[in-house]
Amino acid sequence: MISYKDSSILIVDDLQFSRAVVKSTLGKAGFTKLRMAESARQALDMLSEEEADIVIADWIMPEMDGLELTDHIRNQDEENNSYTGIILFTAQEGMQHMEEAFNRGVDDYLTKPPNPREMIARIISVARINQLQNMLLESSNELSQMVKHLEEVALTDPLTGVGNRRLLLKELEAHLITASSRKSGVCYAMLDIDHFKQINDTHGHDVGDEILIGFTRRLRRCVRPTDLVTRVGGEEFGVIMHYTQQDQFKLSSLERIVSSINSRPFKTNAGGIDVTVSVGACYYRGGGEKPSVKDIMKCADDKLYLAKDAGRNQLVY
Question: What's the gap between Cα 300 and its chain centre?
Answer: 23
pLDDT tens readout for residues 139-164 = 888 877 776 665 555 788 989 999 99
CATH of the domain at 172: 3.30.70.270
Number of domains in the chain: 2
Is 50 an active-site residue? no
Residue tagged active-site, from 100, 142, 151, 235: 235
Examine the pLDDT at 95 and tell me if it is beyond 90. no
The answer on 189 and 133 residing in a single domain is: no
Instruction: Give the orientation angle of helix 293-309 with respect to helix 165-182, to 10 degrees.
Output: 110
The answer on 258 and 161 residing in a single domain is: yes
Say if 149 falls within a structural domain.
Answer: no
Examine the pLDDT at 2 and tell me if it is beyond 60. no
The answer on 126 and 165 residing in a single domain is: no
Q: What CA–CA distances, in Å, run from 310 to 243, 262, 281? A: 29, 17, 15
CATH of the domain at 115: 3.40.50.2300
- Give the domain extent around 220: 155-316
Examine the pLDDT at 6 and tell me if it is beyond 90. no
pLDDT tens readout for residues 260-278 = 998 899 999 999 999 999 9
Tell me the HSE value of 286 on the side-chain side, using a 13 A CA sphere. 22
Assess contact for 83 and 133: CB atoms under 8 A: yes
pLDDT value, residue 84: 94
pLDDT tens readout for residues 166-201 = 999 999 999 999 999 988 999 999 999 999 999 999
Say if 144 falls within a structural domain.
Answer: no
The answer on 102 and 204 residing in a single domain is: no
The answer on 93 and 10 residing in a single domain is: yes
Say if 143 falls within a structural domain.
Answer: no
